[in-house]
């Protein structure tokens, strides 16, 4: 069986923890920053879990994650 290729866009956007959870960064941090409050920009720094409905799709893009 041949090796599976990793999707390079998904590789940079998603991170898999040691326990197998898939984490992602919140969107919208870099766009229109000047009008956002400092608190809002700080909230964009946190990584959050991928929704359960999207986990299967992300797992297929990262076969060795």
Q: Is the Cα dihedral 2, 64, 24, 9 positive or negative? A: negative
Cα 6 to its chain centre, rounded Å, is 15
Domain 8-61 CATH assignment equals 1.25.40.10 = no
Please write the tens of the pLDDT for every residue from 13-48. 999 999 999 999 998 888 888 899 999 889 998 999
Residue 45's DSSP bridge partners are none
**What is the pLDDT, as a whole number, of residue 1?**
87
**What pLDDT shows up at residue 28?**
83
* CA separation for the pair 57, 48 (Å, rounded): 17
Domain spans of the chain? 8-61
Reading the block at residue 41, the tokens are 């920009």
């Amino acid at each position: 069986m041949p090796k599976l290729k990793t999707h390079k866009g998904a590789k940079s956007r998603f991170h898999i923890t040691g326990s197998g959870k898939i984490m992602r960064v919140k969107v919208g941090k870099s766009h229109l920053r000047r009008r956002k409050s400092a608190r809002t920009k700080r909230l964009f720094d946190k990584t959050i879990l991928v929704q359960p409905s999207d986990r299967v799709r992300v797992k297929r893009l990262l076969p060795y994650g």
